[in-house]
């Protein structure tokens, strides 16, 4: 009998086998194609499952999602943007399995709460800053999903002074300003010649003026968004994971400066923002926790 975890990201699918309720092994990853998205995802799940009977699957998906209907609508997967019934599709693939489904940010929060920087923390925000920006909320020790499952989707907090179009259809979302993909796009518009967030971070560390400006822009927007979220939610800790969050001081210095400028209310004096200690696949780890039934959440499908 096998328990699986599936991470539906903006650019990659990852899946693995869950052991001991939170450890995910035998992980395989594939790029998200432009067409035939479910065929690729189904093939990955079959490959990871092998001949064993699958008894449970935890799914963490880029959002928006609707946990009530089991539908995902990732903004960066055009074929699924209008909605794909991921729970029904996985259930058809593994008819005897229990399927549990949440937005990737909630899975991130589950991972951090069970094995990461938020263990023992009752009220917190977990964020991922990568190709996109997502997040999950912990309140009174529970990961909140909300009415549709999108609670904590902090990538669409509006940051002041920006009218950058966002994939959601709005303008000025922190995801449109501060994600790795958005930062690379902005830097290229200024004349930078690289193509990835990793290259952008390396260029900033080497002193490239455009790259430095791009990461300063992103870090400032992140700090402003976190200050707003913390004031609203009355939290004292934020943990940030994701590939672009590993860009180092060119990103984190302006982030901390923006927090110092904006998070001035008395109850925010103890606010801490720390990098994630989960170095590989936090969303997948959280999907494993979800699959194993150890999650403390307000609702699952």
CATH of residue 262's domain is 3.30.420.40
> How many domains, in total, are found in the chain?
2
Which contacts (CB < 8 Å, 24+ apart) does range 40-43 have? 40/13, 41/6, 41/8, 41/13, 42/89, 42/93
Question: In this predicted structure, which of 188-192, 249-253, 280-284 has the lowest mean pLDDT?
Answer: 280-284
Note the pLDDT of residue 1. Answer: 75
In a domain, 61, yes or no: yes
Note the pLDDT of residue 222. Answer: 98
Note the pLDDT of residue 294. Answer: 55
In a domain, 300, yes or no: no
> Do residues 99 and 223 share a domain?
no
Note the pLDDT of residue 280. Answer: 74
In a domain, 298, yes or no: no
> Do residues 19 and 54 share a domain?
yes
CA 41 to chain centre: 18
How high is the mean pLDDT of the chain?
92
Task: Sort strands 98-103 and 65-66 into parallel, antiparallel or unpaired.
Answer: unpaired
Give the position of tokens 């929060």.
109
Rounded to an integer, the average pLDDT of 10-20 is 89
Question: In this predicted structure, which of 149-153, 155-159, 267-271, 293-297 has the lowest mean pLDDT?
Answer: 293-297
Q: HSE-up of 149 (CA within 13 Å, CB side)?
A: 24
Q: Which one is predicted more confidently, 51 or 279? A: 51
Q: What CA–CA distance (Å, rounded) separates 158 from 166?
A: 10
Return the number of other C-beta atoms located less than 10 Å from residue 2's C-beta: 18
Which sign, positive or negative, has the C-alpha torsion 228, 114, 248, 63? negative
> Do residues 12 and 85 share a domain?
yes
> Do residues 37 and 99 share a domain?
yes
Q: What CA–CA distance (Å, rounded) separates 198 from 196?
A: 5
Which pair of structure tokens corresponds to residue 271? Answer: 């606010």
> Do residues 34 and 102 share a domain?
yes
Note the pLDDT of residue 298. Answer: 45
Residue 187 sits in which domain range? 120-275
Count, residues in the chain: 301
> Do residues 144 and 262 share a domain?
yes
In a domain, 240, yes or no: yes
- Tell me the Ramachandran region of residue 186: left when phi exceeds 0, alpha when psi lies from -120 to 50, beta otherwise: alpha
Q: 204 by DSSP, 3-state: which?
A: helix
Q: What CA–CA distance (Å, rounded) separates 87 from 61?
A: 11
Q: By the 8 A CB rule, do 105 and 130 touch?
A: no
> Do residues 181 and 249 share a domain?
yes
Q: What CA–CA distance (Å, rounded) separates 154 from 176?
A: 12
Note the pLDDT of residue 226. Answer: 97
Rounded to 5°, the CA angle 194-158-74 comes to 65
Which pair of structure tokens corresponds to residue 273? Answer: 């923002």
In a domain, 115, yes or no: no
In a domain, 111, yes or no: no
> Do residues 82 and 188 share a domain?
no
Q: What is the DSSP string of 80-129?
A: GTT-B-HHHHHHHHSTTSEEEEEEHHHHHHHHHHHHSTTTT-SSEEEEEE
Position 292 confidence tier, pLDDT thresholds 50, 70, 90: confident
> Do residues 153 and 266 share a domain?
yes
Note the pLDDT of residue 281. Answer: 82
pTM of the model: 0.87
In a domain, 133, yes or no: yes
> Do residues 124 and 263 share a domain?
yes
> Do residues 68 and 173 share a domain?
no
Checking if the pLDDT of 271 tops 90, the result is: yes
Rounded to an integer, the average pLDDT of 19-45 is 91
Q: 100 by DSSP, 3-state: which?
A: strand
> Do residues 64 and 130 share a domain?
no
Return the number of other C-beta atoms located less than 10 Å from residue 192's C-beta: 19
Position 155 confidence tier, pLDDT thresholds 50, 70, 90: very high
Q: What CA–CA distance (Å, rounded) separates 108 from 285?
A: 8
In a domain, 151, yes or no: yes
């Amino acid at each position: 009998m096998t328990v699986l975890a599936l991470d539906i990201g903006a650019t990659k699918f990852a899946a693995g086998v869950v052991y001991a309720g939170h450890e995910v092994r035998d992980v395989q990853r594939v790029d998200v194609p432009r067409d035939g998205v479910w065929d690729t995802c189904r093939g990955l799940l079959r490959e990871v499952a092998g001949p064993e009977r699958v008894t449970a699957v935890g799914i963490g998906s880029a959002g928006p999602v609707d946990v009530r209907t089991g539908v995902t609508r990732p903004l960066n997967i055009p074929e699924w943007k209008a909605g794909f019934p991921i729970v029904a599709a996985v259930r058809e693939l593994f008819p005897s399995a229990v399927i549990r489904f949440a937005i990737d940010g909630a899975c991130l929060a589950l991972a951090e709460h069970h094995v990461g920087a938020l263990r023992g923390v009752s009220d917190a925000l977990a964020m991922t800053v990568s190709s996109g920006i997502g997040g999950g909320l912990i309140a009174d020790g529970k990961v909140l999903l909300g009415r549709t499952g999108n609670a904590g989707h902090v990538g669409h907090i509006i940051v002041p002074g920006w009218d950058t179009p966002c994939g959601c259809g709005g303008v000025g979302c922190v995801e449109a300003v501060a994600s790795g993909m958005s930062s690379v796009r902005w830097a290229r518009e200024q004349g930078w010649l690289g193509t990835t967030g990793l290259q952008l971070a390396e260029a900033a560390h080497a002193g490239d003026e455009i790259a430095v400006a791009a990461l300063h822009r992103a870090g400032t927007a992140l700090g402003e968004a976190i200050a707003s979220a913390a004031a609203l939610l009355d939290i004292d800790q934020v943990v940030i994971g994701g590939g672009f969050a590993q860009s180092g001081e060119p990103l984190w210095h302006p982030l901390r400066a923006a927090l110092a400028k904006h998070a001035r209310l008395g109850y925010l004096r103890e606010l801490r923002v720390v990098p994630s200690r989960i170095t590989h696949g936090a969303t997948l780890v959280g999907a494993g926790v979800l699959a194993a039934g150890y999650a403390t959440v307000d609702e699952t499908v």
